[in-house]
Each structure stands twice: as C-alpha cells, then as structure tokens.
Chain A
C-alpha cells in the first residue's frame, strides 16, 4: 500500500510495487527494475532467493509467495517468469493483471513477443515499463495510449536516424 504499512521491512518509503523482475526458466535475469532502494548486494541476494523459490514451484500452485513480510506475485509466460513484489495489503489478483497488462503491451509492441526480443531489446522493455508503471504505481489502463507514446518516441528516433543518415549522405556528397 504505502509508507505507513511497509514500515516493518527495511526497504521502505512509499513504493507500492517494490521491484519488478524478469527471470528465465534457467534463473537468468532478463530485466530488473527496483523501485525501493536495494543495494547491489541485496539485489543479487533477492534475485537468487526468489528465483530459487519461484522456479521450484509447481504449475498448479498459487501465483503468490509471501516473502520477508512482502508478497511476490509471479506469472510464467512461456520460458519467462514475470515477478512483482508488492505489499501484503495489495490485491494479488490485480497485481497479476498488471503483469498481464504489461505482457500484452510488450506483445503488441514487439508483435508476438518472445524471450529473445526482451533479451536483445531490454532497454525497450524498460521504456515500456516506465510507461506502464510510474513511481511504482500502475498508470495507464489504456494499452493504446502506451503504444502511442512508445510509437511516438520510436518515430522520433527513426527521424533522428534518417536525419543522421541524410546528414552523412550530404557530408559524403560534399566531400566527394
């Protein structure tokens, strides 16, 4: 929920979602986003601990784990596990839907997203995540508008590329 409630954990202040993890079935990290401050050492420990717990769970069990006074909601999509750590008071089903929402947007963006897309374009996954979750809260329930923003940014980048290309062409021509 927020600050007043999370007091029991050392990792405090106001983030509703403490972190987002993407782990492959082999336990490899594909994306990490930390909203609460964790040191690099803690991060490694958290990842190791959680991937151990999550990967060993059977398919029919709940998608929730109570962990260190927080709750980790995870969902497996093909070979990737999407995990979000939230406060115990949060609505787990909702968190599950947030994950799904994110995955749907990824899917729409990459077009039939697969793990490889995320491996090689992890920075794009980050950009999209930043549009879905702001300050550790779910932001936009309209997939279209997220897609629009990302598209706008991409166009901008493409434009920049084109400009750069045309510029270098011009330079090339000029120096001929």
Chain B
C-alpha cells in the first residue's frame, strides 16, 4: 500500500525510470526510450514469458507511450492480458488497453468478449474494471454487445458498480444516443437511488438529456430542487463533504441543470428561487469550492427568469470577486460581470475601475477575458476605445488562432458600431496590418465597397473626402516595410480607383507607387494583378481626360514583364492595358468611366448587338450558325478546363514513353530530320484562317466561317491548342499533307476512337498561357520572328524554343502509336515536311506584334484575350476585367456598408465605457480571506518535525491546526493531543521510509525544489 510497493517491483524498470530521470537532454531521453522499446519488442514476443513479467512489460509499455513514443507493437499483449483470470493481471491489462486504444481501434473487437464475461463476474472489482474499460473503449457498433449486461448491473448491490454502470450508459448515450434511447426513463429512476454517488452519476446523464431537450424534463424540476435542498442542508452523509462543504460537485451539477430548465420559464424559475437563495446563503465564500458554487449560482440566476432579489445578491458576489486580490476570483468576476450586465447593464458602472485594472493586468488570461467582456458590452459610444484596446492587444499576440478570433471580433465591432467611415477605414487598415492574411477576403471586399459606395447618402463631397483620406492613408501605409497581401490588394484598388481623383497626386506618382508595390512582391500574382489593373484604370482616366499618357520607364518594364508572365491572368491584364493605351479618349471613357465601380453591368448574353453584323454576313451568303452539338464529329470536342486537359495529357504521357520503339523501326525513319514534326504540324496545320474556313466549308456546314471571331473563335483556338481532336483539324491535315489521304479513313478512326492524341502532342509542347496567344495568332498571322517571341517561349517552356520542338517530337511519337495499333498501314506514313516547325515558329512570332497593332477594333481584340475556358460574352469589353474584381462589391449589400451611426466622437477616455462615476476600488472581504491553499502555520507537531528533519515536511500533518479546513479532511481529531498519533497513523511512511525516499530521489535526480519534493509543500507558502 505504501509508495514503496512500486520501488522494489523490478530492478530493471527502476533503472529505466531512474536513467530517464537523470537524462540531461531530450536527445538522451530519446535514446534511452528507443533502447527500451527495442528491448521490449524482443522480450514480449519471446515464448513463455511469465505472466507476471509480462505485466511488468506492459506497464513499461504504458510508460514508454506516456513519454510520447509509439508502443503499438505491444497493444496485442495488453489485450491478451485482459483475458487473464488473475484480477491483478486483468486489471493491468484493462488499464493498459484503456490508455492505448481508442474506441475505433481494430483490436477492440478482441476485448468485447472478455468484457461481456467480466461484466457478469461475481467479483465486483472485476465488474468495475470492465466497466471502466467499457466507458472508454466501446463505439456504436460494439455497444449493443454489452448493453444488456451493463443494464443488469444497474441493480448490483454494490453502489460502486451501480455508479459505474450509470456512467457507462451515460457514455453510451453520448456516443450513440439511439442505442440507449429506450433506457432514458431509467435515468429518472436512478435519480432516486439511495446512494448519493449513484444519484450524482445519474445527474451527469440527465444534464446531457436536459441540454438536448429541456422541455421533456421540466417536470423533474421539483426533484432537482428538493435534492439540492437536502444537499445544501447538509442531510447527506458527512462522507460526501468536501472541505466542509456538502457534496459541492453535486450542487454544481444540479445548479447547471436548473439553469437549463429555468431558462425563459417564469414558473419553473420561481420554484427555484428559494433553494437558490439557500445555496447562496450557505456557501462558504472563504473557500475555493464555496466560491465555485457561488459562481455557478450566478450563472444560474442570470440564465433563468430573473428575480431582482437574487440578481442583487449575484451582483454583490460579483463585486466581491472583482475586488479580490486573487487572480482566479478576478477572472471569475469578469466572467460573472459579463453575465450580470446582460440583464442589468447599469451594473457595469460600479466596476469600471476593477475592469480597467484587469485590462491592464500583466496576466494574459485575465486580459483576454476582460477583452471578451468589453466585446460583449460594446456600444457605439465606446466602440473606439474598446477597439483600440483590442488592437493594441492584438499587437502582442503571435499565435494564429487567437489572432484570427480577435481580428474577426474587431471587424465585427467596427462594422456594427463604426462612428465614422474614416475611423472604419483606419481600423480596418490596422487589422489588415496586424492580422494580415488571417483576415477573410470578404472583409477586404466590404472595405472596398464601403469606399466605392460612400456613406450611402447622396453626399458626393463627403464621399470624395473619404476617398481622398483613404488614398492619403494608403500612400502613407505603403511606406511600411511588410504588408499582407490582402491589404496590398485593397491599397492597389483604392489607388487605381481614386488615386488621381482629387488631383493632389499625379498619375505618374501613383503609377510609380503601384509599380513599387508589384515589384516588392514578385511572388504574389494577385497583388500584381490588382496593381496592373490599377495602372490600367489610371491610364484610362488620364486618357479620357484628354491627357497624354507617357508611361514612366519603370512601368514599361513592369508591363513587359507581365506580357511574358506565366500567369495568363497577368498577361491578359497587361495586354488590355496596352490595348487601352492605343484607344481614343472616347472609347476609353466608355470602357473605364471614372468612378463607376458601383455601376451595374448589363451583360447581353444573346449578343443582340451583333445581329446587324450577322444579318449582313448572312445576306452575303454566309451559312447560319449551327450549335456545336449538332455538328458531326464535334461531340468529342470539349472545351474543357485547363485542368482536365492537362490531366488527360498527363495520363497519356505514359504512352509516349512506351511507344518510341515500335515507331522507330519503319523504313521511313531514314528521314530523321523530318520525323520529329509530323504531328506537330498536323496539329497546327495552318496559320491562315482562310484555309480552315475553306476546309470547314468542304467537310461540313461549319458555323465558324459564319460567325466571325466573336464567340466561336475562342473555341476554335481551344480545340486547336488543347482540344483532343477536332474535325476541321484532321481534315486540314489531310489536305496539307496529301500523301496521307489514303490513310485518312483509318486515321480518322484512330482519332475519333482514341480521340486525344493530339491533345498529348499539344499539351506536351505547351503550357497554359500560350493558348490564348496562339488563338490570337491564328486570327492574324504575322510571320515575323522577334526577340519577343523568343522571350515568350523561354518563359513558357523554360528554355529556348528548341525545347518546344523536343517535346513536340515526343508528341509525334505518341500520336503514331494508336496508328500502329489500329492500322499498321499508318507506319508507311511518309515524313511530314519539316516546314511545320518553322511555321509554328513564325506564327508564334506574330503574337505580340499583332496584339500591339493599334488598328484592331477594341471589342474584338479584347474579347479574344479573355479566358478561353469561360465562354464569356461581354458588352463593355475591356471593362470586364476591372469589374471582375468588384464581383464581391456587386453583391447585395450587407450590414457593413452605409453605417447609419452618427459620427459621434466618444471620448477616448476609458471611463467612457461607463457613464457613471468611478467607484473607488476597495478591497473587499474576499481579499482577506485566506486561500485554502495558502493556509500555512508553523507546524510544531511531532509528526511534522519528524519528517522535516528528513527534509520532508508533510502537509497532511496539518492536523494540529485546528483552524484549518484540513483538519476535517484528514479525518483527524482536533487538538494538539491527538495530532501526533493521527499523523503517524495516516502518514504511511515512517521516518525510515522518508529517508529511503529521500535517498532514492537523490538517486533519480528528481528533487526539483531542492529540499522538498512533497506535493503539498506549496501549501505552506
């Protein structure tokens, strides 16, 4: 029974614990444990390990796992041990299993049977061990297996077993409510159990049930009230006293249940008033547990239908908590205050000083709790002060969880109570700065919307003032070294939209700043996008104002960089900017009107504005449009997303590596130069549109030829580039290389069946961004080669154009494979002229020239540059992109905008949190009350002095302190006379034991406090 029991149990284990205790570093500890694991792994699988030895191994496994290492290799041994007939071993087995396994572990199934058997055991200790395991280990599937046995145990003569059975059922109910739903009436019965501990177990279960559905249990209110009354009146056995308080844990539990039952129920609540008053009266405010009950009372009183008298008492207790010197009580006081002021907001007045003290306390927990309280009491009159405090606290935080939470609170408060827009913007800036990317993007959008829409009244002047101040503040903020992406996006947008609006900043100035932003964040595509678009807008505003735009060199470089960017989005934006620069002021004003971010865009999905054009084309003999799905051979063409296509390309590359050998042998391989390109060319057969048109006309009625480059064009480009295969392409192939005519049929089969080999070729040579460019190229081929092209290629392919060819040849090999399989004749396929390669090159080259070409009518040009996977139709074509950013803004307005709060300037004094006068903070009675734990007294009893000679003064020798609550605890009789024998008796270890302990502790190196490792030592202060 004494601690020494464990010492001698095994030398080996003792050594292990000792060596770990002596380990100087974590690494050393790891080494020791690793060695131990190795040893255990070997030992436990040895045949004929004595069972007692095995038990020790299992305890050692528990130890190893406790230190954070994996002991899963030994789980099965622990499971086996539960099967043992010896209770000693069985109990160790159960202990290990409950520590090792959770309820969904595979091994559980091996234990269920044992548990079933043990639950029926005659020995109540076996039952208890099994029930403890049941609580931890069973899940939905295994519960039914033991349920009958557990229910039987509810009638067990031993209260300990009954109690555990109730807890097991309670646990079942938590885990799988349906499995025990038929037993719910039982819980009510158990409430009447003659043993308080069983009754208290039922309270746990009932608490859950009441939480789920209070109405069903309201009729139990009187029972709960009478139980509580009995407990409070000290009618339970003294055994259940805790520090002279009668069954405090039962009291707290019932108070919690009463709160649930009484919430919003006047009549039910009234039944509780008298017992609550009784609890308040009887609780001992001098002890920790008494205060725990008092606190719980406050919770209950503030939850149920209010009683003014009780509220008064609750307020009084709260004051006492707040005035206490003890931080724990202060903390509880702050919490209680939050509850009380929900019902009586005026109550806060008296405690302003105490709250401020807590707010400025160095204790982080207390500070945070106080901020919680402030958050709850925020009004428009004090929002500025509170938010200021929250923000300054946020500065000190560095973990993401808390920061996110606090940021969202600040945002919520700012949105709800902001006294002025200007304040709101500044607050948001601070939040962005501090919490950065933890802030959800929606907040940024809300902020932009607020700026765009203004105060909601038709006061343009105020709005522009607001915007100017935003611009100023952002230009200022940009000076900071490190800004989060979200904030930069907002800044870019605001500068683009309003940077030049009030005329204080020149366009060049703003553009310069925007370029700086982009430059300092090379990796952030979103910020770059925002920045280039902002530049576009500023240029557009300049142009429409009739001013000449001369881009500063810095900006030119930036645009050039983006033109060759890996991101199609950035490229597109850059091209749009270029295009806009070339347009006339009127057009630009149309595209990007000043301050139009809030205007609605009407999208004409039917393209009615093209009717005229279509009609004239039809009149000139063009064919009418045929929907895509009606065209033959088009069914396999999907204008899929990049991802799809890329993934299919990835999937197909497997084939590419397999094929080369069958492809190589054919005799034609003699013409090596030609080989790499056949399919390459096939897939980009011509750069001239006329040829395609003609072919299309040949083969089938294709709407392409009719519907000029507006909608279809993009799809064409996609097909060519990405599309697995398209009819027009294959036909054009056949014409461009006449030799192939003969194979055409079979080729067709291959292509229609396999359908995607071209995609392989295409996507293996291209990465995403090209497609758009190619598609432009197709429209207006310009056979020049420029350095621009080479750069493009370099950035796209990550090397010189040669690499493009390289993969192109790979593609060719792939595509020859299906041919081989389906139709051997394909092998005879003659070498394609290598000119395909150069054509490709040439057409590539045309891209940039063509885009820069000023003569292109704006809508068409810009349309072509839009995303190729979204069949987007637009009216105000170039405006599209900037508006895209505003998508969020166009949504229905939420609370954040147009705050109708009067621009009240609350005083920045913290006192403004309250309207009244500061109450002098006095130290209440609580402060003088000694904490239970701090009860210290010179112990002169012989027991104490005896042990102190060994350096082990024992707390439990407090028996001689008649004033101490421990007197009763320790069961000792009061008075000096009896203290000595008591402490001797109770203190298991004799002087000799203590000496041994001391020696051992020195051995093991666990004497952290130097002289006294006794746990209760601190109680002496």
Contacts and interface: CB of A to CB of B under 8 A. Distances in A.
Interface of A: 1-4, 13-14, 24-26, 28-29, 31-33, 35, 37, 40, 43-44, 47, 58, 60-66, 68-69, 76-80, 91-94, 96-98, 100-101, 103-104, 106-117, 119-124, 126-127, 130, 134-135, 137-145, 149, 151-154, 156-157, 160, 164
B249 A141 contact: yes
A113 B197 contact: no
Given A121-B6, A151-B1, A160 B88 contact: yes
17 contacts: A2-B211, A26-B1008, A62-B327, A62-B366, A64-B365, A66-B369, A78-B1016, A92-B331, A97-B292, A107-B1016, A117-B3, A124-B5, A126-B99, A137-B170, A139-B167, A139-B200, A141-B200
A135 B160 contact: no
B77 to A, nearest CB: 15
B1017 interface: yes
Interface string B722-734: 0000000000000
A114 B1002 CA distance: 13
A130 B1016 CA distance: 22
A138 B985 CA distance: 29
A29 B67 contact: yes
A115 B160 contact: no
A156 B1008 contact: no
A66 B368 contact: yes
A29 B6 CA distance: 18
A157 B175 contact: no
Contact of A62 (B86, B363, B955): B363
A37 B160 CA distance: 26
B125 A156 contact: yes
Interface in B142-172: 160, 163-164, 167-168, 170-171
A126 B59 CA distance: 11
A149 B1006 contact: no
A75 to B, nearest CB: 8
A37 B197 contact: no
Contacts of A79: 1006, 1008-1009, 1013
B250 A119 contact: no
Nearest to B98: A130
Interface residues of B, number: 108
A45 to B, nearest CB: 10
Interface of B: 1-3, 5-7, 14, 17, 21, 52, 59, 62-63, 65-68, 70, 86-88, 91-92, 95, 98-99, 102-104, 125, 128, 132, 135-136, 160, 163-164, 167-168, 170-171, 174-175, 197, 200-201, 204, 207-208, 211-212, 237, 239-240, 242, 247-250, 252, 288-289, 291-292, 295-296, 299, 327-328, 330-332, 362-366, 368-369, 401, 932-933, 947, 952, 954-956, 969-970, 986-989, 994, 997, 1000-1001, 1004, 1006, 1008-1009, 1012-1018
Contacts of A60: 327, 363
A37 B136 CA distance: 10
Contacts of A164: 52
Contacts of B401: 68-69
A91 B989 CA distance: 36
A12 B968 CA distance: 39
B130 to A, nearest CB: 12
Given A25-B1008, A77-B1016, A91-B295, A135 B239 contact: no
B1013 A135 contact: no
Contacts of A14: 171, 174-175, 208
Given A114-B952, A141-B197, 11 more contacts: A13-B175, A24-B1006, A40-B65, A62-B365, A79-B1008, A92-B328, A93-B288, A134-B164, A134-B201, A142-B240, A153-B87
Given A40-B70, A60-B327, A61-B327, A114 B1013 contact: yes
Nearest to A137: B204
Among A32, A119, A160, the one with the most B-chain Cβ atoms within 10 Å of its Cβ is: A119
A160 B86 CA distance: 8
Given A97-B288, A112-B1014, A134-B132, A31 B66 contact: yes
A116 B1000 contact: yes
Given A94-B252, A97-B289, A153-B91, A78 B1015 contact: yes
A152 to B, nearest CB: 6
A93 B332 contact: yes
B165 to A, nearest CB: 10
B400 to A, nearest CB: 11
B956 A112 contact: yes
Nearest to A121: B6
A121 B6 CA distance: 6
Contacts of A142: 197, 237, 239-240
Contacts of B175: 13-14
B153 to A, nearest CB: 14
Q: Pick the most buried of B3, B240, B947, B956: most chain A CB atoms within 10 A of its CB.
A: B3
Contact of A135 (B135, B207, B363, B988): B135
A149 B160 contact: yes
Nearest to A157: B88
Contact of B66 (A100, A115, A122): A122
A122 B58 CA distance: 13
Contact of A120 (B3, B292, B299, B988): B3
A25 B1010 CA distance: 12
A141 B368 contact: no
A91 B63 CA distance: 32
A32 B1016 CA distance: 20
A134 B135 contact: yes
Contact of A4 (B136, B211, B956): B211
B17 A77 contact: no
Contact of B997 (A106, A114, A134, A153): A114
Nearest to B66: A32
A134 B205 CA distance: 12
Q: Which of A35, A40, A107, A153 has the most CB of B within 10 A?
A: A107
A127 B64 CA distance: 18
Contact of A122 (B63, B997, B1018): B63
A60 B1013 CA distance: 21
A111 B1015 contact: no
A65 B21 CA distance: 28
A87 B954 CA distance: 34
Contacts of A94: 248-249, 252, 289, 292, 296
Contact of B62 (A77, A123, A153): A123
A108 B66 CA distance: 24
Q: Give the residue among A47, A103, A153 with the most B Cβ atoms within 10 A.
A: A153
A93 B328 contact: yes
Q: Point out which of B207, B242, B932 has the most chain A C-beta atoms below 10 A from its C-beta.
A: B242
Contacts of A100: 288, 932-933
Contacts of B125: 149, 152-153, 156
A111 B249 contact: no
Contact of A96 (B168, B239, B288): B288
A172 B89 CA distance: 24
B603 to A, nearest CB: 41
Closest 3 CB pairs of A and B: A111-B988, A14-B174, A93-B292
Contacts of B954: 112
A130 to B, nearest CB: 5
Contacts of B932: 100
A95 to B, nearest CB: 9
A81 to B, nearest CB: 11
Contacts of A25: 1008-1009
Contacts of A62: 327-328, 330-331, 363, 365-366
A80 B135 CA distance: 28
Nearest to A32: B66
A63 to B, nearest CB: 6
A156 B121 CA distance: 15
A141 B250 contact: yes
B538 to A, nearest CB: 45
A40 B330 CA distance: 36
A88 to B, nearest CB: 10
Nearest to A39: B102
